[in-house]
A and B are shown apart, each in its own frame.
Chain A
Amino acid sequence: MEKNYAIESNKLSIHYGHFTAVRDVSIKIEPQKITAIIGPSGCGKSTLLRALNRMNDFVPGCHVTGELLLQGQNLYGRDIDPVEVRRKIGMVFQKPNPFPKSIYENIAWGARINGFKGKMDDLVEQSLRSAALWDEVKDKLQESAYALSGGQQQRLCIARTIAIQPEIILMDEPASALDPISTLRIEELMQELKKNYTIIIVTHNMQQAARASDFTAMMMIDDQRAGGVIEFDETKKIFTRPQDKRTEDYVTGRFG
């Protein structure tokens, strides 16, 4: 029986005009697992991540070739609505980016424009609980999201993403602007979230990938400066017995 993957790419390449930034990525992402994408700066990690929910559509001159399949459907197919793709595949960014609104509205707003018809108070509470933030903010839901600390803001952004019930959550360096305690909290939160969601995280912090992920994709650029996945395996294998010499050099700090 064929295994079900959360999302899979088939020779996915990302081009900016004539320049190929990411070449021929074919990976299969397991559902309800955390997959980390690692590699040296400029290897195309974030570019690849953004292509997974068609965020690159916003970049002028960017076009994608190959296939990106979500439940058998090519997300770059002709009839696909990119807005719907982004609803199914949410994104959390490096720098917490709450809306300049109350904590409550940060969550309610996205749900409302996505046509949420249920009880909003319940959705807000449930989302904040899932993001391990409820206890810290339940008495100040109407206060501005900007009053929260960086770590709390990031968890609010995660709550906001969860509120529209995506299938996959993409995280682009979600903890790089946070202190070690907040970082650890986000990592523990990811372990909770993976019970319900598939998570793909880009991180330049190798230790974080090692600690928090189940699978790791190692990316590196080729001689034409196009990034590609050179090794993709269980995280424990990547960090104890990688197969590719370049991965070995990278994880042992001898490269990049």
Chain B
Amino acid sequence: MIRKTFESEIQLVKDEVLLLGSMVEHAIIGSVEALKKRDLKASEKLIAEDKEINKKRFAIENQLMILIATQQPMAHDLRLLASTMEIISELERMGDYAKGIANINLRMGEEALLKPLIDIPRMAQKGADMLHRALTAFINEDVEVAKSIPVEDDEVDALYNQIYRELMMFVIQDPKTIERANWLLWVAHNLERVADRVTNICERTIFIATGEFGEIKSSDDEFWKGQKSS
């Protein structure tokens, strides 16, 4: 026996999550693109669009609450709805990181970039790509893919480390660059957090499919370990 009505409601929610995900992907890529081109108008637009992301998140949250209240989900259905609640909050936070990057571009005003952006767009691209695949894995409840994505976080961390060292070199050579270096470090940090949140989404997907809670290795630890030893 299939609960047709409930199933189609769940499908609707999943579609909305994908839509929210694509808004966030667009915001991440767009925020770095605007920074790279020093396009302040584009950054202002992205900040305005973040409100739409927040609105969408609350709309999905409301949908989920109604489904939990009216459809009495159990077992897999319950894990799915409860985890989706978590996932949309991760997505909204990722949107905030993109907004943060847009804000940095505005704060920099007329100031030129300390260096041409090469690794930062790479980080953004990598993070958005991981996010895209993580959401596909969520929709398909594909445990294998969900397990494989967080491993790629190491690449993002490696890029972050590289950017960090590079910017430190600038600061050491000329302390007057500290502010401009700091802007870019914030940007990189935001992007590094994006990838971490993708890991959280993957953990939720595994939980939905298997019922097992588990934390996939956080590369944050690796990063800080690296800092202490150097």
Contacts and interface: CB of A to CB of B under 8 A. Distances in A.
Contact of B65 (A185, A188, A240): A240
Interface residues of B, number: 12
Interface in A224-249: 235-236, 239-240
Contacts, number: 31
A188 B4 contact: yes
Contacts of B112: none
Interface in A57-85: none
Interface stretch (B69-77, B132-140, B158-166): B69-77
B70 A236 contact: yes
Interface in A203-228: 207, 210-211
A106 to B, nearest CB: 25
Nearest to A236: B66
A123 interface: no
A1 interface: no
Nearest to B65: A240
B4 A239 contact: no
Nearest to B69: A239
A191 interface: yes
Nearest to B72: A207
Given A236-B66, A240-B65, A240-B66, A210 B72 contact: yes
B5 A191 contact: yes
Interface residues on A, range: 10 to 19
Chain A interface, DSSP helix/strand/loop, else mixed? helix
B123 to A, nearest CB: 40
B118 interface: no
B4 A211 contact: no
Contact of B1 (A181, A207, A240): A181
B4 A240 contact: no
A87 B5 CA distance: 29
B3 interface: yes
Q: Which of B1, B4, B69 is most buried by chain A, counting CB atoms within 10 A of its CB?
A: B69
Contacts of B70: 210-211, 235-236, 239
Nearest to B67: A236
A27 interface: no
B71 A211 contact: yes
A210 B62 CA distance: 15
A63 B69 CA distance: 38
A148 interface: no
A181 B2 CA distance: 10
Contact of B69 (A181, A187, A191, A236): A236
Contacts of B6: 211
Nearest to A210: B70
A181 B3 CA distance: 10
Contact of B72 (A185, A211, A235, A240): A211
27 contacts: A181-B1, A184-B1, A184-B3, A185-B1, A187-B5, A188-B3, A188-B4, A191-B4, A191-B5, A207-B72, A210-B70, A210-B71, A210-B72, A211-B5, A211-B6, A211-B70, A211-B72, A235-B70, A236-B66, A236-B69, A236-B70, A239-B66, A239-B69, A239-B70, A240-B62, A240-B65, A240-B69
Interface of A: 181, 184-185, 187-188, 191, 207, 210-211, 235-236, 239-240
